[in-house]
């Protein structure tokens, strides 16, 4: 996680001057959809615990900026709730899980709800070693009691999310199972359901249920990116899951250029992990991405001020991207290329 941030902020851009950048345009098109700038909100589990019905608030903010919102498999709000309460183009993220009945069911529900794009996360055959979850009370000894104590110490959250943001369930899973599922259930269900036997064959199985655009998320190696092209994916997300899976892998921005050399132009190339500003978006695009996903950046904004916080963040990011484009002499997203990168000392 640290390396995602430090490697990305080390990327130096090449300032250019007197190049008439009037009429600058930050928009781009992905899978036939026009986005006001090249970003989408990443799938983040339990978003509804950061703000009241957090998935709906984030999706509304995304809609206002004409960028996609990605709903996690393990969201608090189910697909239908998010779809019926916002007008965002909704992407749905799916894990490969042992319970194939659930996968089939949720894909049908996604399609019926008008989800446009499937984001298939493949870097989670097992959850990473997440010691911070134990420290925070997300898991570990006395987790439920510790969370209760935290609620008492945070009365604003307790009222807004703890009481008025209920039900705190995993909406997509409880709809399938037909009964409510709490946080403990979430952890247990996840632990049982991640499937280490996952292979490209499982993606072929998914393809039979999903005819729309499909992105494969969690690629860090050019050979895997080539396999994704051979499989017929519509896009990939270069991602180390925000540093939450294998500690010690490459940062996404470091992994990106060789992957861009291998597949750029053949499929949509997205990247995430470490993006915190419009400047970071320009950096990822200069390194080869067509667009980025925002994870923690929007979650922090959502926790701070709900839909309004995410809208403010997205406005800021768009403005920062504009500044970066103006001062690197790029009039369109297409004009942000490897030529926009500065040579640094020793590089």
Ligand X SMILES: Cc1cc2nc3c(=O)[nH]c(=O)nc-3n(C[C@H](O)[C@H](O)[C@H](O)COP(=O)(O)O)c2cc1C
Q: CA 132 → CA 49, 136, 168, distances in Å?
A: 17, 6, 21
Task: Decide if residue 181 touches ligand X (CB under 6 A).
Answer: no
Task: Decide if residue 239 touches ligand X (CB under 6 A).
Answer: yes
- Positions in 259-288 near ligand X (CB under 6 A): 272-275
Site string for ligand X, 208-227 (x = CB under 6 A): ---------x----------
Site string for ligand X, 18-57 (x = CB under 6 A): ------------------------xxxx------------
User: Contact at 8 Å (CB) between 159 and 170?
Assistant: no
Task: State the residue for tokens 């270069």.
Answer: 238
State CA 125 to chain mean position distance.
Answer: 18
Q: Which residue number has the CB closest to ligand X?
A: 295
Q: How far is the CB of 61 from ligand X (least distance, A)?
A: 16
Q: How far is the CB of 152 from ligand X (least distance, A)?
A: 23
What's the CA gap between 82 and 177, in Å, rounded?
19
Could you say which of 28, 57, 72, 175 contacts ligand X (CB under 6 A)? 72
Q: How far is the CB of 96 from ligand X (least distance, A)?
A: 11
User: Contact at 8 Å (CB) between 218 and 250?
Assistant: no
The residue among 55 and 272 lying less far from ligand X, judged by its C-beta, is 272
What's the CA gap between 155 and 148, in Å, rounded?
11
3 state SS of 2: helix
Least Cα distance to 213 among 51, 79, 67, 89 occurs for: 89
Give the count of residues interacting with ligand X (CB under 6 A).
Answer: 23
Residue 241 among the catalytic residues: yes
Phi, psi of 2 (to 5 degrees): -60, -40
Using CB under 6 A, which of the segments 13-21, 170-178, 226-234, 294-302 binds ligand X?
Answer: 294-302
Could you say which of 52, 60, 283, 296 contacts ligand X (CB under 6 A)? 296
Catalytic residue, chosen from 154, 168, 241, 254, is 241
Q: How far is the CB of 105 from ligand X (least distance, A)?
A: 18
Task: Give 88's contacts (C-beta < 8 A, 6+ positions apart).
Answer: 59, 60, 62, 63, 67, 68, 69
Phi, psi of 218 (to 5 degrees): 115, 30
Q: How far is the CB of 305 from ligand X (least distance, A)?
A: 18
Binding interface with ligand X (CB under 6 A): 4, 42-45, 72, 74, 93, 121, 217, 239, 241-242, 244, 272-275, 293-297
Q: What are the residue numbers of the active site?
A: 241
């Amino acid at each position: 996680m640290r390396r995602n941030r430090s490697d990305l902020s080390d990327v130096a851009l090449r300032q250019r001057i007197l190049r008439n950048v009037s009429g600058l345009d930050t928009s781009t098109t992905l899978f036939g959809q026009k986005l006001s700038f090249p970003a989408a909100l990443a799938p983040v589990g339990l978003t509804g615990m950061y703000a009241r019905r957090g998935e709906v608030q984030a999706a509304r903010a995304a809609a206002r900026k004409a960028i996609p919102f990605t709903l996690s498999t393990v969201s608090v709000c189910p697909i239908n709730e998010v779809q019926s309460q916002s007008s965002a183009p909704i992407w749905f993220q799916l894990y490969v899980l042992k319970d194939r009945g659930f996968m089939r069911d949720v894909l049908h529900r996604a399609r019926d709800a008008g989800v446009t794009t499937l984001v298939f996360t493949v870097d989670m055959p097992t959850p990473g070693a997440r010691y911070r979850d134990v420290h925070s009370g997300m898991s570990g000894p006395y987790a439920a009691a510790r969370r209760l104590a935290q609620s008492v110490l945070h009365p604003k959250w307790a009222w807004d999310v703890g009481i008025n943001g209920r039900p705190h369930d995993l909406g997509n899973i409880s709809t399938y199972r037909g009964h409510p599922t709490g946080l403990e259930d979430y952890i247990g269900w996840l632990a049982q359901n991640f499937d280490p036997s996952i292979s490209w064959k499982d993606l072929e199985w998914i393809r039979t249920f999903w005819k729309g655009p499909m992105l494969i998320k969690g690629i860090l190696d050019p050979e895997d990116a080539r396999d994704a092209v051979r499989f017929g994916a519509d896009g990939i997300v270069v991602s180390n899951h925000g540093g939450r899976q294998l500690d010690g892998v490459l940062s996404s921005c470091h992994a990106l250029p060789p992957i861009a050399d291998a597949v750029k132009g053949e499929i949509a190339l997205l990247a995430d992990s470490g993006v915190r500003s419009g400047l970071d978006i320009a950096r990822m695009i200069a390194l080869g991405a067509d667009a980025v996903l925002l994870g923690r950046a929007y979650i922090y904004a959502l926790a701070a001020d709900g839909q309004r916080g995410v809208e403010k963040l997205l406005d800021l990011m768009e403005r920062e991207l504009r500044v970066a484009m103006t001062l690197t002499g790029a009039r369109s997203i297409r004009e942000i290329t490897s030529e926009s990168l500065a040579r640094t000392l020793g590089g």
